[in-house]
Amino acid sequence: MKKNKKTKTYDSLYRDELPLGLKPREKMEASGPASLSDKELLAILLNTGIRGKNVLEVAGDLLNLLDGNKDIPSIKEISLLSGLGQTKACAVAAMLEFGRRRYGAFSAQVKTPSDIFTLVRHYADRKQERFISLSLNGAHEVLAVRVVTIGLVNKTIIHPREVFADLIQDRAAAFCVAHNHPSGQLESSPEDTEITERLMAAAKILGLHFIDHIIFSETAWWSFRENGQLINTPFSSIPEQLQ
């Protein structure tokens, strides 16, 4: 009589496919969800990888898709990723929609560069630069945080119209921008200064208050305002902490 082949449960497969130091679930149990990267959080949601691709690699593919979309991708788009069928795609879409309904309205207020850093630091582990815009209302409360463009390994290409299209849609009164340096070096480049100056000029024409531009890594940031390079922004509408 042929013995039934023993099948692995999802949980055992999840445990087996990653080395001890890369197990997001154990890390979460020990230190809480805030200690995990975006990729690790998605890995817990996905639970398993596929043959030849562990769960963190599948989560990385999903994260790239999410970073490249300003809205929640369709179930069809998600399910086209290797390792994500219809069932997992539906679970991911449901999680994203629930998060938007529950926590979509930001209550955070930008008063210092560290407030900006708190809202964007989870992008710091990306291998390519992300240029991010933060739409603010008149009280400098956050309306939206978006990845505007994804760049090359060491630089991103951005045009002011890509930033202001979203700000106008949000009916923002003010805004901040930020981008990560995958190298970890926080010094601004000539290109960083140029785009900051172009954004300042466009903001003045549109009547929007440009609060700050920060460059950040996983542990620190560099602020154009703190370094005196946003002096043309009207100070009367900027909290004292950012002046």
CATH number (domain holding residue 233): 3.40.140.10
Structural domain harbouring 206: 113-242
Least trusted range by pLDDT, from 160-164, 184-188, 198-202: 184-188
Give the pLDDT mean for 5-10: 41
132 and 237 fall within a common domain: yes
96 and 126 fall within a common domain: no
139 and 86 fall within a common domain: no
90 and 118 fall within a common domain: no
Closest CA to 49 of 76, 15, 91, 99: 15
pLDDT of residue 82: 87
Between CA 188 and CA 28 the distance in angstroms is: 34
The residue type found at 114 is: S
Q: Per the domain annotation, does 129 fall within a domain? A: yes
Q: Per the domain annotation, does 141 fall within a domain? A: yes
For residue range 102-131, what is the model confidence (pLDDT) as tens digits?
A: 666 566 889 899 999 989 988 888 888 889
Between CA 118 and CA 183 the distance in angstroms is: 19
Q: Per the domain annotation, does 1 fall within a domain? A: no
28 and 138 fall within a common domain: no
Count of domains in the chain? 2
Four-CA torsion 140, 144, 148, 153, nearest 10 degrees: 90
85 and 137 fall within a common domain: no
Residue 83 near residue 49, CB atoms below 8 Å: yes
- Residue 4 pLDDT > 50, yes or no? no
165 and 98 fall within a common domain: no
For residue 212, how many other CB atoms are within 10 A of its CB? 26
Least trusted range by pLDDT, from 54-58, 153-157, 190-194, 216-220: 153-157
160 and 179 fall within a common domain: yes
pLDDT of residue 48: 84
Domain boundary among 103, 124, 146: 103
Q: Per the domain annotation, does 221 fall within a domain? A: yes
Across the chain, mean pLDDT equals: 82
pLDDT of residue 15: 46
125 and 199 fall within a common domain: yes
For residue range 25-82, what is the model confidence (pLDDT) as tens digits?
A: 888 888 888 888 888 999 998 988 888 888 889 999 999 898 888 778 899 999 999 8
| H or E element in which residue 143 lies | strand 142-150
117 and 96 fall within a common domain: no
Q: Is this model's pTM higher than 0.75 or not? A: no
Residue 233 near residue 105, CB atoms below 8 Å: no
Domain boundary among 103, 128, 157: 103
Q: Per the domain annotation, does 3 fall within a domain? A: no
Q: Per the domain annotation, does 76 fall within a domain? A: yes
Going from the C-alpha of 89 to that of each of 15, 41, 64, 92, 134, the distances in angstroms are 22, 15, 15, 5, 28
Q: Per the domain annotation, does 4 fall within a domain? A: no
185 and 236 fall within a common domain: yes
33 and 123 fall within a common domain: no
Relative to beta strand 174-180, strand 209-216 is parallel
Q: Per the domain annotation, does 5 fall within a domain? A: no
